[in-house]
């Protein structure tokens, strides 16, 4: 995927949220305010376009914390480049979802 690819605002928000450290579906929904029916299909499209990559958590970690394993997402190199291009297109994106806020949680 070329860095110049134009993303919708919703997709750009999801990329920004993942970049900011919200790496689970529910946390992305909470941060962006988007409903489940929007976030997951959008993430699947981003994954199909190689902008993000998903990975299941190790079972042992989930067992230790007595919860089911989660799937977490991270940006690929293409995803980072596309996000940079999207930030120029949507200048308020970083202010909406700031990295510092995620790190403080």
Binding site for another protein (CB under 8 A): 24-26, 29-30, 35-41, 44, 56, 67-71
Closest CB to another protein among residues 46, 93: 46
Phi, psi angles (nearest 5°) of residue 46: -65, -35
The answer to whether 22 touches 102, Cβ cutoff 8 Å, is yes
Closest CB to another protein among residues 67, 89: 67
Give min distance, CB of 63 to another protein, in A.
13
Q: Interior CA angle at 41 toward 32 and 94, to 5°?
A: 30
Closest CB to another protein among residues 74, 89: 74
């Amino acid at each position: 995927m070329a860095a110049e690819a134009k993303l919708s605002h919703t997709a750009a928000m999801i990329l920004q949220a993942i970049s900011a450290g919200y790496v689970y579906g529910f946390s992305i929904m909470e941060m962006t305010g988007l409903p489940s029916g929007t976030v997951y299909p959008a993430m699947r499209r981003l994954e199909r376009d190689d902008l993000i990559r998903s990975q299941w958590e190790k079972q042992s970690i989930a067992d230790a914390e007595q919860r089911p394993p989660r799937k977490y997402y991270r940006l690929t190199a293409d995803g980072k480049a596309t996000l940079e291009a999207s930030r120029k297109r949507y200048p308020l994106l970083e202010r909406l979802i700031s990295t510092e806020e995620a790190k403080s949680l």
